[in-house]
């Protein structure tokens, strides 16, 4: 029997177990979380069950069964979660991170610590959030992708940023060697034509050099696209977009766009960076576009894409990161505003 639940956006999430790549959901292994976002094509409720909203400190464990829907358990503490996980796994796990990692690799079980906000999930290829237990197993070594690109389920943090429970969970980059890299070999601009990266960032007003977001990098050719980049000799509120690319004859091209008078001194902001194969780009902070233009010769730049948040280099600017989303299309103004509004209270805005 197919169960259909009519829910509103402000109700708890809904969940189902399926080996299909369901659209407009966050994917937790073989589980799919519908956060309440309704796309232009509507929203499917078939096969979904209402989630239980855990209280602070609780975890909800869902187990798929062939009959009568999912089995649901609620534990009230980390100690209870460890005991339950050891019972299910016949293991001797001792930490929260070990338990969350075990659940993240089970085909028929998942563990969540909270309801998720109704962000845009249409064409969401990659999504990471240090405050959400299915994405962050709390071991400091890797994160799980909740987007549709299941071939890239897990990413590593080679130089590990620090985890803080502030705002429910954030990553802090030390300005020396911390890094967070997502390799996207099957999402090049030449294939998808456009790409959008959205992230909650807290970047201080700074006089130091900074390289907050690398939109792409090829270690062989040194081709790269850097958003939010600056030298220490520049005035504090001047940033840039830098593109290095290789022409057909092997010569190098270089493009530099300055972004002036952007202040990062007021705490958390939601950054949306969009790029099209024709060179058109836009940068929005919260829900307002602050810069747009055309990057010439971008069509020549066709390296395998990486989306990286880094603060490498001695003396670089430290910063903090909340969630990170990567879409293989451009977002409308309404969608950018929707994402901002759905999560802003989490960052005290």
With beta carbons less than 8 A apart as the criterion, state whether 42 and 23 touch. Answer: no
Tens of pLDDT, residue by residue over 37-93, are: 776 666 667 788 889 999 999 999 999 987 766 689 999 999 999 999 999 999 999
Around 194, how many Cα atoms within 13 Å sit in the side-chain half-sphere? 16
Q: Residue range 191-206: average pLDDT? A: 79
Q: What pLDDT is recorded for position 58?
A: 96
Q: What pLDDT is recorded for position 158?
A: 59
Q: How many percent of the chain have pLDDT more than 70?
A: 65
Q: Residue range 109-136: average pLDDT? A: 93
2-16, 71-85, 107-121: range with lowest mean pLDDT: 2-16
Q: Residue range 274-287: average pLDDT? A: 83
21-25, 103-107, 263-267, 277-281: range with lowest mean pLDDT: 263-267
Which tops the pLDDT comparison, 199 or 192? 199
Q: What pLDDT is recorded for position 337?
A: 95
**How sure is the predictor about 211, in pLDDT bands with cuts at 50, 70 and 90?**
low
Which tops the pLDDT comparison, 106 or 296? 106
Q: How many percent of the chain have pLDDT more than 90?
A: 31
219-223, 230-234, 272-276, 288-292: range with lowest mean pLDDT: 219-223
Judge whether residue 242 has pLDDT over 90. no
Judge whether residue 112 has pLDDT over 80. yes
The 3-state DSSP class for residue 91 equals: coil
The sign of the dihedral angle between the CA atoms of 84, 89, 94, 96 is negative
Q: Average per-residue pLDDT in the chain?
A: 78
Q: What pLDDT is recorded for position 6?
A: 35
Angle among Cα 107, 33, 23 to the nearest 5 degrees reads 95
Q: Residue range 189-215: average pLDDT? A: 72
Q: What pLDDT is recorded for position 221?
A: 58
- Here the tokens at position 225 are 């696209």
- Here the tokens at position 132 are 């959400």
Q: Which residues pair with 142 in a beta bridge?
A: 156
**Hey, what domains does the chain have and what are their CATH numbers?**
14-112 (no CATH), 157-347 (2.60.120.200)
**How sure is the predictor about 226, in pLDDT bands with cuts at 50, 70 and 90?**
low
pTM: 0.85
- Here the tokens at position 336 are 């950018």
Q: What pLDDT is recorded for position 161?
A: 81
**The residue count for the chain:** 349
Buried b / exposed e over 129-151, threshold 16 CB at 10 Å, is bbbbbbbbbbbeebbbbbbbbee
- Here the tokens at position 222 are 């040194």
Rg of the chain, C-alpha, whole Å:
21
């Amino acid at each position: 029997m197919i169960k259909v639940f009519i829910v509103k956006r402000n109700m708890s999430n809904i969940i189902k177990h399926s080996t299909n790549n369901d659209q407009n959901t966050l994917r937790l292994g073989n589980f799919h979380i519908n956060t309440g976002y309704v796309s232009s094509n509507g929203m499917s409720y078939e096969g979904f069950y209402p989630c239980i909203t855990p209280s602070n400190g609780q975890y909800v464990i869902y187990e798929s069964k062939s009959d009568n829907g999912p089995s649901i358990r609620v534990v009230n503490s980390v100690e209870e979660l460890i005991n339950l996980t050891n019972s299910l796994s016949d293991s001797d796990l001792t930490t929260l991170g070990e338990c969350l990692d075990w659940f993240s690799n089970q085909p028929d079980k998942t563990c969540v610590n909270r309801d998720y906000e109704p962000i845009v999930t249409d064409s969401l290829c990659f999504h990471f959030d240090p405050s959400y237990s299915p994405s962050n197993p709390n071991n400091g070594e890797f994160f799980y992708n909740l987007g549709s690109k299941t071939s890239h389920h897990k990413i590593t943090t080679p130089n590990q940023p620090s985890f803080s429970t502030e705002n429910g969970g954030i990553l802090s980059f030390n300005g020396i060697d911390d890094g967070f890299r997502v390799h996207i070999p099957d999402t090049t601009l030449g294939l998808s034509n456009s790409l959008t990266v959205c992230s909650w960032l807290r970047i201080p007003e700074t006089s130091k050099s900074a390289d907050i977001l690398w939109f792409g990098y090829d270690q062989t050719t040194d081709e790269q696209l850097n958003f939010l980049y600056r030298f220490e000799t520049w005035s504090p509120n001047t940033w840039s977009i830098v593109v290095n690319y290789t022409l057909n004859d092997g010569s190098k091209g270089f493009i530099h766009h300055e972004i002036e008078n952007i202040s990062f001194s007021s705490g958390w902001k939601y950054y949306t960076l969009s790029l099209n194969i024709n060179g058109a780009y836009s940068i929005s902070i919260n829900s307002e576009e602050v810069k747009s233009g055309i990057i010439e010769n971008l069509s020549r730049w066709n390296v395998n894409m990486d989306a990286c948040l880094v603060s490498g280099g001695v003396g670089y600017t430290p910063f903090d990161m909340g969630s990170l989303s990567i879409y293989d299309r451009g977002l409308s103004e309404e969608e950018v505003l929707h994402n901002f509004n759905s999560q802003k209270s989490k960052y005290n805005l």
